[in-house]
Chains A and B, each alone.
Chain A
């Protein structure tokens, strides 16, 4: 355990104390007690920048399950540090915001903060673990704590639905990722990410390579809400707004991005990775921005916007991975996409976090988030309005904010796909810039909708539950900090480039650099009159046009929603699997014991006859048989006739007597085959059993007439088959004897060692006395059980 390990689990440890704060310091909002921790962690992680800037990597290992190669290995490199800073930094702001957002009188703050701290630990663990199993453990903890946070207002039906949906989808991906981890372990023999990366060149042709890649991608896509798994994210908006801002815009949904970035050095040697990551990303980008325009809920717009921006980062990571296939790295020509991905990751966290907080403020101060009821808030909430301008303009990619810079670089990355000539990118690669441009137009439209429908236009006081007014300063601090970061990163992007972006790129694209070299990251406002600039101008022009003509083309959405409703597909999948399994169970579990016996007997017959045939096990040998005598035939006949006649007996009394006849002929067999003790026991026991049967018969409910057993062909066939299988096995077993019996020992030693002459009795009480002991137990238990059944008469009414 090092300080680093302690830093990761410190939120978990603090969570243990939360109930104490909540219980004994009711006057103070519980959030204040938490706030110092993420700030301290943020400062703690900041100091690592000086190390990672020079390409240093800090590793610490604490043993967990050494015998399986699972250690709590922590590794701080550029990528992990970037995420750790995001998690702790935005975490601090979100805690501060939640202090003002959640009322200490009406909310259960203890559970909220425990879940939030749980999530913080989980997320730090995901991004800093070097061991895949540890990463997976933290990964599932993020799903779990997110589930708890979405369902925080558990009395609402929509919250429970959203929590369940996100749980099902993300856990599906998590389990698939576990499969991928195990496949990687089979190929490389280690769970350590840095060791796996070293072997990535060797495993690329392994037969399990593609399955492992697909497993990992499913995990990453479900977590990061990529098409078509994005459907859980809009429903997760039922969570309290601080949660949406933290989990569903800045951190958790980027866990999938993190995973893709982390695994790029392992999997990107194959073109399939590039196509899948970039392809799914670009589709998600388009679909998210397209769907966001039609939303009427502020958080709904932001949710689809998050989906879309995550798709953008994902596609950039996919395109950026192609740089690994170009050995010459004289300029940053092919790596610009990766730069853009990392840069936009930071930007998105800043402006999306602030926008969620703005949406929360509007909800908090007006009582609704529906843009059809909002409008004209500009005059009531000037500060919030300013924050919203900064956030939405940055999201739309308008200068001078940081979103503009990353959008330009995004276009650059996409346009440079046209220059690539690997993995068929020269054939279909042109689609990337085209779709990217169209999606950006929609991004522009929904950003404008978000801003102007809320803050400009006519104020409708009668539709609002509360009178709008500016938010208290406490609620505004966090979004103000984030919005100032948007501006700072907009004007001075290069404070990030050497400290944060370049080290992170080194983690994503290792091996491209020679010793001492660093990625040359320079972000400028002005490139000159390049194609990206014209694309941006086009986006703004067409976006403005479409924004003003929206009522004319909004019918487009009517067609799409009906036809491509993924939510409906999900719901019917869940419902069909439930009814399907219910019906399936209902068919074969019908509650009748006869049916179950039919299953059991048929399976018995099937498995034995098939294995007799398959193993060629049937042997028939008559050399070892004893002679048949005439009285034995008579007994056999009696027995066979008696047992078959039972089946035809009309009265049950006849059946009982015939069973007795079979029992006594068994006793006769024991006499014939030289077993005097058996014959004695059999006679006595058969007598007592028949007496018991008669007792039972005597107490039967009186019926008017007794009926013969009804005939069923299936029953007959099954019983004949069972009898035949037993006969065959008996014949086969008798005909193949592999060794002599051990009974000669008993014959020789019964008198010498055990001082008895009756061998059977000596075996029962001396050589194998334990059998007898427990057989006595069985009889004792049966007797006690019978006694209890007769004596204890607890009916439902008398109970308790």
Chain B
């Protein structure tokens, strides 16, 4: 399963990179969203996907899934959510003020770079 997940993550990263190289600001942010999904799954996969009970002691199981990467991912999800929402509002304000979402047109002018 880990092998398969490695390839899935590769596909996610590929799409994310392609989106981030595009001209539209919204697509770039979609790309960062995909990138963080890829990173979270990578964290989970690298810890091993051995079968075991969910990390709840009430289960009384012989083996549990590793709780540490889950805690890390939880933190990462929240942080990337905060950053993504900030970026989205930034993009929204940029549309409002500048009237474009084309990255090629969002450039400093000669006297202002």
Q: A614 interface residue, CB < 8 Å from B?
A: no
Whether A646 lies near B9 (C-beta < 8 A) is no
Shortest beta-carbon contacts, A-B, top 9 = A723-B14, A727-B10, A759-B67, A782-B82, A719-B17, A759-B55, A719-B18, A757-B57, A730-B6
Find out whether the CB atom of B70 lies under 8 angstroms from the CB atom of A675: yes
24 residue pairs of the A-B complex, CB under 8 angstroms, read: A591-B107, A592-B104, A626-B49, A639-B11, A643-B16, A644-B11, A647-B18, A652-B27, A659-B34, A662-B12, A678-B44, A688-B81, A692-B89, A696-B26, A701-B99, A722-B17, A723-B14, A724-B10, A741-B48, A742-B68, A750-B67, A751-B57, A760-B74, A775-B79
Q: Mark A609-653, 1 if CB is under 8 A from B, else 0.
A: 000000000000010111111001100100110011011000010
Known: A646-B15, A730-B6, A771-B71. 6 other contacts (CB 8 A): A626-B49, A628-B4, A639-B11, A655-B30, A675-B54, A678-B77
Which of B18, B38, B84 has the largest number of chain A CB atoms within 10 A? B18
Number of residues on chain A facing chain B (CB within 8 A): 94
CA–CA, A625 to B50, complex, Å? Answer: 8
Given contacts A643-B34, A778-B78, are A730 and B26 in contact (CB under 8 A)? no
**A555 interface residue per 8 A CB criterion:** no
List residues of chain B with CB within 8 A of the CB of A746. 67-68
A window 335-376: CB within 8 A of B: none
| B82 partner residues in chain A, CB cutoff 8 A | 778-779, 781-783
Interface of chain A: mostly helix, strand, loop or mixed: helix
- Contact indicator B89/A757 (Cβ below 8 Å): no
Docked-complex contact A723 and B75, CB < 8 angstroms:
no
- Residues B1 and A627 in contact, CB atoms below 8 Å apart: yes
Stretch in A324-332, A492-500, A784-792 with 4+ CB within 8 Å of B:
A784-792
- With both chains docked as a complex, state the minimum distance between the C-beta of A632 and any C-beta of chain B, in angstroms: 6
The answer to whether A757 touches B56 (Cβ under 8 A) is: yes
Interfacial chain B residues near A682, Cβ < 8 Å: 77
* Complex interface: chain A residues within 8 A of B24 (CB): 652, 709
Alpha-carbon distance between A722 and B24 when the two chains are bound, in angstroms = 20
Question: With A696-B26, A741-B47 known to touch, is A626 a contact of B6 (CB < 8 Å)?
Answer: no
Cα A249 to Cα B27 in complex, Å, equals 69
Provide the bound-state CA to CA distance between A696 and B55, in Å. Answer: 37
Cβ contact within 8 Å between A591 and B108: yes
Contacts A675-B70, A726-B9 given; does A659 touch B56 at CB 8 Å: no
Report the bound CA distance from A674 to B54 in whole Å. Answer: 5
* Residues 18-55 of B at the A interface (beta carbon under 8 Å): 18-24, 26-27, 29-30, 33-34, 37-38, 40-42, 44-55
Evaluate whether A726 and B30 lie within 8 angstroms (CB atoms) in the complex, with A647-B15, A678-B70, A719-B14 already known: no
Q: What is the distance, in angstroms, from A591's C-beta to the closest C-beta of chain B? A: 5
Chain A nearest CB from B103 CB (Å) reads 5
Q: Is the CB of B6 within 8 A of A731?
A: yes
Whether A760 and B17, one on each chain, are in contact in the complex, defined by CB atoms closer than 8 angstroms, is no
Q: A378-407 vs B: 1/0 string, CB under 8 Å? A: 000000000000000000000000000000
A561 / chain B contacts, CB cutoff of 8 Å:
none
The answer to whether B2 and A722 have CB atoms under 8 Å apart is no
Write the nearest CB–CB distance from B112 to chain A, whole angstroms.
11
Knowing A647-B15, A743-B67, A768-B71, the reply to whether A778 touches B100 (Cβ < 8 A) is no
The reply to whether A643 and B21 form a contact with Cβ atoms under 8 Å apart is: no
Query: Which residue of A has the minimal Cβ distance to B28?
Result: A593
* The residue from B20, B58, B95 contacting A597, defined by CB atoms under 8 A apart: B20
- The tally of CB-CB contacts under 8 A between chains A and B is 272
As a 0/1 sequence over residues 87 to 112 of chain A, the CB contacts with chain B under 8 angstroms (1 = contact) are 00000000000000000000000000
Residues 706-757 of A at the B interface (beta carbon under 8 Å):
709-710, 712, 715-716, 718-720, 722-724, 726-727, 730-731, 733-734, 741-743, 746-747, 750-751, 757
Knowing A692-B85, A695-B88 are in contact, say whether A709-B27 is a contact too (CB < 8 A).
yes
Q: Could you tell me the distance between the alpha carbons of A783 and B67 in the complex, rounded to whole angstroms?
A: 29
- Report chain B residues within 8 Å CB of A726: 9-10, 13, 38, 42
Name the CB-closest residue of A to B31: A646
> Bound complex: CA of A639 vs CA of B49, how far in Å?
18
Q: In the complex, which residues of chain B have a beta carbon less than 8 angstroms from the beta carbon of A125?
A: none
Cβ contact within 8 Å between B67 and A747: yes
Closest to B17 in A: A719
Contact B21 A718 (CB under 8 A): yes
Residues of A within 8 A of B52 (CB): 674
Query: Chain B 54-68, CB within 8 Å of chain A: the 1/0 string?
Result: 111110000011111
Instruction: State the CA gap A178–B37 with chains docked (Å).
Output: 53
Closest-CB distance, B72 to chain A (whole angstroms): 8
A246 to B56 Cα, complex, angstroms: 87
Contact assessment for A677 and B79 in the assembled complex, using a CB-CB cutoff below 8 Å? no
Tell which of A688, A696, A779 has the most Cβ of chain B within 10 Å: A696
| A685 to B4 Cα, complex, angstroms | 26
- Residues in A156-188 with C-beta less than 8 Å from chain B: none
Contact call A692/B18, Cβ cutoff below 8 A: no
Is the C-beta of A663 less than 8 angstroms from some C-beta in chain B? Answer: yes
Task: State the CA gap A640–B54 with chains docked (Å).
Answer: 26
Out of B3, B10, B38, B77, name the residue touching A681 (CB < 8 Å).
B77
Q: Quick one: given A626-B2, A673-B49, A778-B78, are A643 and B15 in contact (CB under 8 Å)?
A: yes
| Closest chain A residue, CB of each to CB of B49 | A626
**B103 to A, closest residue via Cβ:** A593
Q: Is A700 an interface residue when CB atoms closer than 8 A count as contact?
A: yes
Contact between A733 and B46, CB atoms less than 8 A apart:
yes
Q: Chain A residues near B8 (CB, 8 Å)?
A: 636, 639-640
Smallest Cβ distance from A517 to chain B, in angstroms?
72
Whether B78 lies near A759 (C-beta < 8 A) is no
B74 — which chain A residues lie within 8 A by C-beta?
677-678, 681, 760, 764
A250 at the interface (CB under 8 A from B): no
A-side contacts of B100, CB under 8 Å: 701
The residue of chain B having its C-beta at the shortest distance from the C-beta of A701 within the complex is B99
A593 to B108, alpha carbons, bound, how many Å? Answer: 11
Whether the Cβ atoms of A759 and B86 lie closer than 8 Å is: no
Q: Does A457 contact B (CB under 8 A)?
A: no
A594-B103, A643-B11, A647-B19 as given contacts; A786 in contact with B85, CB under 8 Å = yes
Can you name the residue of chain B whose Cβ is closest to the Cβ of A677?
B74
Please give the distance in Å from B37's CB to the nearest CB on chain A.
Answer: 5
Judge whether B45 and A730 touch: CB under 8 Å: yes
* B9 & A760 in contact (Cβ 8 Å cutoff): no
Complex Cα distance, B105 from A138, in Å, reads 53
B70 in contact with A677 (CB, 8 Å) = yes
B81 and A689 contact, CB distance less than 8 A: yes
Query: In the complex the two chains form, is B86's CB within 8 Å of A775's CB?
Result: no
What is the bound-complex CA distance between A622 and B4, given in angstroms?
Answer: 11
Contacts of B57 on A, CB cut-off 8 Å?
750-751, 757-759
